[in-house]
Amino acid sequence: MTGWGESYPETTGYIIPTLIREAHLTGDTKLLDRARRMLDWLTSIQMSCGAFQGGTIGESPVVPVTFNTGQSLIGLAAGVTEFGSAYRKPMMAAADWLVSTQDVDGCWRKHSTPFAAPGEKAYEAHVSWGLFEAARQESGYGYAEAAMRNVNWVLSQQNVGGWFANCCLSDPYNPLTHTLGYALRGLIACYEFSGDHKILQEACRTAEGTLSALRPDGFLPGRLDSQWIGTVSWACLTGTSQMAECWLLLYRATGDVRFRNAGMLANRYVRSTVRLSGPPETRGAVKGSFPVSGGYLPFQYPNWACKFFIDSNSLEKAIREEEDESAVPLHAQAASPSH
């Protein structure tokens, strides 16, 4: 281990709602204090145009980036919901910038990250999620409309099997489950906001495709080609957790037990890779890849892997509790009618 990385505006943004939710679930008010500190830090580094920089603090060039702004927006919108108007102006500034920089077909092309391969990015459906959350707070500013335009463009990149073209940081022909997970979660967020069952159907199409790549032990290859065939021998644990959460969300939306079982199986696999003892720097952390030498952030413990792990396992816990509450005790079951 060589130490901690630099602060990351993008992941700080979308970790905020995770801390807020867990604070309410556990009663740990210190998590709310941490979320507020994260929000205050984000607003202190927000660019005058309303955007947020790409990469981590200290990386060069320092330029406004669509994806990072969208992820910070998710946090700012959660901040408005939880803490009130102090974060409304920064939220609207970020959302306004995204609307103003979007191309007419719904794609964002002007402010791509310099830290990934150039080109269009279908995983920016996850940016749309931020705009949908901003629209919940402030309607009438075109936020939801811009988000829907992007989702429609993203769907133009979807093939008949549900796989997305142009959906990776580096290899669009073999995208990471991480970036595929971003795209799928963006579609689910669109459905949650709009109630549009066509969007739900398209999300299920992608989810069913990823299901076909899941092994019986919960292993999901870290890269998947256009036929949903794994092209690497390692798992991207971040992507596995993202897919698990998406499957569980779709189980709630559709009642399809395949999604429930897949989500819980994938969660169990990732849990098996997490060490609950050892140095505090790695205790409870989630590796970039498994094995740890795999191709996604080898020998690293990214903070966003923990975020998606928490989200997915928290959702699984809630589903299991709901199932326990709805289970009919044996003594209360009706006897079979006699003949």
Instruction: Give residue 332's pLDDT.
Output: 42
Where do the structural domains in the chain lie, given as residue ranges?
7-153, 157-319
Instruction: Give residue 326's pLDDT.
Output: 84
Give me the amino acid identity at 265.
Answer: L
Instruction: Give residue 1's pLDDT.
Output: 61
Residue partners of 333: CB distance under 8 A and separation at least 6: none
What's the sign of the alpha-carbon dihedral 181, 187, 192, 198? negative
How far is Cα of residue 8 from the mean position of the Cα atoms in its chain? Answer: 16
Contact 71, 308 (CB under 8 A): no
Same fold, 7-153 and 157-319: yes
Residues counted in the chain? 339
Instruction: Give residue 329's pLDDT.
Output: 54
Tell me which residue of 239, 182, 245, 187 sits closest to 213, measured CA to CA: 239
- Rounded CA-CA distance 75/93 in Å is 13
Instruction: Give residue 103's pLDDT.
Output: 98
Instruction: Give residue 117's pLDDT.
Output: 83
Instruction: Give residue 245's pLDDT.
Output: 99
Choosing among 3.40.50.2000, 1.50.10.10, 3.10.28.10, 3.40.50.2300, the CATH entry for 157-319 is: 1.50.10.10
Which fold would CATH assign to domain 7-153? Glycosyltransferase (1.50.10)
Instruction: Give residue 338's pLDDT.
Output: 39
Tell me which residue of 134, 136, 131 sits closest to 98, measured CA to CA: 131
Residue for token pair 């970020």: 94
pLDDT tens-place values along the chain, 339 residues long? 678 999 999 999 999 999 999 999 999 999 999 999 999 999 999 999 999 999 999 999 999 999 999 999 999 999 999 999 999 999 999 999 999 999 999 999 999 889 888 889 999 999 999 999 999 999 999 999 999 999 999 999 999 999 999 999 999 999 999 999 999 999 999 999 999 999 999 999 999 999 999 999 999 999 999 999 999 999 999 999 999 999 999 999 999 999 999 999 999 999 999 999 999 999 999 999 999 999 999 999 999 999 999 999 999 999 999 999 887 554 444 333 333
Instruction: Give residue 308's pLDDT.
Output: 99
- Rounded CA-CA distance 97/76 in Å is 14
- Rounded CA-CA distance 115/80 in Å is 30
Give me the amino acid identity at 54.
Answer: G
Instruction: Give residue 132's pLDDT.
Output: 99
Output the six-digit token pair for 324. 């326990």
Residue partners of 53: CB distance under 8 A and separation at least 6: 9, 45, 47, 62, 63, 64, 65, 68
Output the six-digit token pair for 117. 């391969």
CA–CA distances in Å: residue 88 to residues 38, 78, 136: 15, 10, 12
Contact 45, 54 (CB under 8 A): no
Instruction: Give residue 129's pLDDT.
Output: 99
Instruction: Give residue 333's pLDDT.
Output: 42
CA angle 287/234/72 to nearest 5° reads 45
Instruction: Give residue 334's pLDDT.
Output: 39
